[in-house]
């Protein structure tokens, strides 16, 4: 098993959010997995603009689809932790492990049920005030902060 937290993005829609998450990953030493297809050109100017000069520092792995990602994950023996509004357990009540992969869904639609079913854990970032969901980059930052706090 390979140690170290990872961030995974399921078919991301918005280049700016993906670039922000890649920048966070680069700054914190966390690899980022992108499960394709993405809703934008991954080599596009918008992604570079959002990630600025941090993209060269980022460790990015692209997976052509969820099945290929799952094959890779099975070989690594890693737990998949999905962040979703369709969960009951708060992320602050969950015990993270150093080898977890933190999965975030599409900005427009989250993840489909078959992907949700494959997750080892489904976590919620509780919100008050009636908003539908947080920005995915903000949610990823909150999740990574808690996971890193717990795992040192």
What are the structural domain ranges in the chain?
6-151
Supply the pTM of this predicted model.
Answer: 0.93
Contacts of 107 (CB under 8 A, 6+ apart): 12, 13, 14, 17, 135, 136
| Domain at 6-151, CATH from 3.40.50.150, 3.40.50.300, 3.40.1280.10, 3.20.10.10 | 3.40.1280.10
Mean pLDDT of 109-122: 97
Could you report the per-residue pLDDT of 2-41, keeping only the tens digit for each? 579 999 999 999 988 998 999 999 999 999 999 999 998 8
The answer to whether the CB of 42 falls within 8 A of the CB of 51 is: no
Taking phi over 0 as left and psi of -120 to 50 as alpha, with beta for the rest, 4 belongs to left
Share of the chain above pLDDT 90, in %: 76
pLDDT at 104 over 80: yes
pLDDT tens-digit series, residues 62-78: 999 999 999 999 999 99
């Amino acid at each position: 098993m390979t140690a170290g937290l990872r961030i995974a993005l399921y078919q991301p829609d918005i280049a700016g959010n993906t670039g922000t998450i890649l920048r966070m990953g680069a700054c914190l030493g966390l690899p980022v997995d992108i499960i394709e297809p993405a809703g934008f050109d991954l080599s596009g100017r918008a992604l570079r603009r959002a990630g600025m000069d941090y993209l060269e520092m980022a460790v990015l792995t692209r997976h052509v689809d969820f099945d290929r990602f799952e094959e890779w994950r099975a070989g690594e023996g890693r737990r998949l932790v999905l962040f979703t509004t369709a969960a009951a357990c708060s992320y602050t009540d969950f015990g993270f492990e150093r080898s977890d992969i933190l999965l975030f869904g599409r900005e427009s639609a989250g993840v489909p049920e078959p992907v949700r079913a494959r997750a080892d854990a489904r976590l919620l970032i509780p919100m008050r005030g009636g908003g539908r969901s947080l920005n995915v980059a903000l949610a990823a930052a909150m999740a990574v902060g808690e996971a890193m706090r717990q795992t040192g």
